[in-house]
Amino acid sequence: MQATATVLVYSDNANTREQVRLATGRRPAPDVPVVEFVECATPAAVLMELDRGGIDVCVLDGEAVPMGGMGLCRQIKDEVFNCPPVLLLIGRPQDAWLATWSRAEAAVTLPVEPVEFANALASLLRRKALAGA
């Protein structure tokens, strides 16, 4: 198992980014690596970090302004080679179909519920580890 996993968190809202960090803790589950965060408040920063490489999972806020995480997810799935898996934060459970449209691998509702979020993030980190093995 790798020593750390890098999780990119995109939201224009610092409180949402903090909710993600707090829900994750040092690691979302005992069988996944310790998490390091890269926080982005703009779509341009997300693209720059993905170009830089080393991102294991992206957490994108579907309610972000001026560009929501759903549209950004669809864009990076089209434009980024070997795009990392995406966990989308959605405003309502009814928006799950939009998460599917955006090609996100998982979605959870806002506000972040720690157990649900940690389980979803851990699942994506496990899948990423299996794909890399």
What is each CA distance from 89 to 1, 24, 73, 133, in whole angstroms?
27, 14, 11, 28
Q: What pLDDT does residue 130 have?
A: 81
Nearest to 68 by CA among 90, 52, 87: 90
pLDDT of amino acid 133: 54
Helix (H, G, I), strand (E, B) or coil at 119: helix
Task: Provide the pLDDT for residue 3.
Answer: 87
Compute the distance between CA of residue 28 and CA of residue 51 in angstroms, rounded to an integer: 25
- pLDDT mean by block of 10 residues, the chain; 133 residues: 89 98 96 97 98 97 96 97 96 91 96 97 92 67
